Amino acid sequence: MTVRVGVIGAGWIGQDHIRRLTETVTGAQVTAVTDIDAARSQEAAAQVGAEVFADGGELIAADDVDAVLVTSWGPTHAEHVLSAIASGKPVFCEKPLATTAEDCLKIMEAEMAHGRRLVQVGFMRRYDAGYRQMKQVISSGRIGEPLMVHCAHRNPSVPESYTTDMAALDTAVHEIDVLRWLLDDEIVSAQVVLPRATSKRYEHLRDPQIMLYETVKGIRIDLEVFVNCQYGYDIQCETVGEHGLVRLPDPAAVDVRTTGQRSTEVLTDWVGRFVHAFDTEFREWIANLATGNEPTGPSAWDGYAATVVSNATVEARKSGRIVLTDMKPRPAFYATRDIA
């Protein structure tokens, strides 16, 4: 069965996912598009022969929309996800699921009332081959019980519109999700330490930041977020266990030797780093829907946890204190772990 997808938000990532669903993923067809920018939705829809809808509500109600993809601005996500659940349609929501814990809880309540999982959140790192290998190693017990994780999330530069809060809400949120999944654990506290600021930043921005987390099991995580590092897009993750460690591989790149030098390319943007993860994420989402199964990727609970922890990280930076995350207990509905 072909899964007919309606897309809400035809901006940067919306257009990239429309292309992915059309050219890369089999079994999917983008049949509907809406964007508050009418010209943008017309253009995106025309490229794939989709129908343009006036707003998210009309698109979700359309007969030829089997599943909904939400790629609009973060603060609008909750409204569209709740409408999709009310219509009983599966919905893939780019991160964040919602910007507040309260809205995430509303989404979970609506989904639980529906009785079946409909929501998947766009945390694509869980589909990256390196992170999946790390997960296997940690779950197999080969390095023993994990004790510490050292991470870095570095970006060459960010535009002036990037704010200090975004370091937690848009950047660290990917580590927050993938670490909860890798460790099969929840984060209980957040703290932020601010090193000397780089001169290569807009004046309003605190960069870099070091984020420190503790989990229920007592694992300590240190995460360097440095979004004006100049040299490249560089994601590092090393989990240290009781008798070994596992480290995320760098993306494959050839070794070049010339004029007395030996060098290996460092990527400069996240698109190239995670393109395969995005492709796998959508292949698996569509494959599950096409066979009538529930989505198996990051759930509404995962979206809730990521929002709680990233908001706690902002509060920790602003207050200078260690902030407890104060998460609700996980409902039995979300008890089973998703993709392994």
Ligand X SMILES: NC(=O)c1ccc[n+]([C@@H]2O[C@H](COP(=O)([O-])OP(=O)(O)OC[C@H]3O[C@@H](n4cnc5c(N)ncnc54)[C@H](O)[C@@H]3O)[C@@H](O)[C@H]2O)c1
Where along the sequence are the contacts to ligand X (CB under 6 A)? 8-14, 34-37, 40, 56, 71-74, 76, 94-95, 122, 124, 170
Long-range (24+ apart) CB contacts under 8 A made by 334-340 are 334/108, 334/299, 334/300, 334/301, 337/184, 338/126, 338/181, 338/296, 338/297, 338/298, 338/299, 338/302, 339/126, 339/127, 339/284, 339/296, 339/297, 340/135, 340/136, 340/139
Shortest reach from residue 42's CB to ligand X, in Å: 12
Taking the least distance from each CB to ligand X, the nearer of 180 and 241 is 180
Is 16 within 8 Å of 269 (Cβ atoms)? no
Shortest reach from residue 10's CB to ligand X, in Å: 5
Is 95 within 8 Å of 123 (Cβ atoms)? yes
Shortest reach from residue 56's CB to ligand X, in Å: 5
Is 91 within 8 Å of 121 (Cβ atoms)? no
Query: What span, in angstroms and rounded, lies between the C-alpha atoms of 255 and 263?
Result: 6
Taking the least distance from each CB to ligand X, the nearer of 69 and 289 is 69
Residue nearest ligand X (C-beta atom) = 11
Taking the least distance from each CB to ligand X, the nearer of 219 and 306 is 306
Cβ count near 20 (within 10 Å):
19
Shortest reach from residue 239's CB to ligand X, in Å: 22
Which residues on adjacent β-strands are paired with residue 324?
A: 189
Angle at 30 between CA 83 and CA 67, to 5 degrees: 30
Query: What span, in angstroms and rounded, lies between the C-alpha atoms of 96 and 77?
Result: 8
Taking the least distance from each CB to ligand X, the nearer of 111 and 281 is 281
Shortest reach from residue 277's CB to ligand X, in Å: 9
Taking the least distance from each CB to ligand X, the nearer of 94 and 214 is 94
**Residue 143 DSSP SS3:** coil
Shortest reach from residue 109's CB to ligand X, in Å: 22
Residue 40, CB half-sphere, CA atoms under 13 Å: how many? 15
Taking the least distance from each CB to ligand X, the nearer of 95 and 135 is 95
Taking the least distance from each CB to ligand X, the nearer of 245 and 275 is 275
Q: For helices 77-86 and 101-114, what crossing angle results, to 10°?
A: 10
Taking the least distance from each CB to ligand X, the nearer of 97 and 143 is 97
Work out the widest C-alpha separation in the chain, in whole angstroms: 66
Shortest reach from residue 262's CB to ligand X, in Å: 32
Shortest reach from residue 221's CB to ligand X, in Å: 20
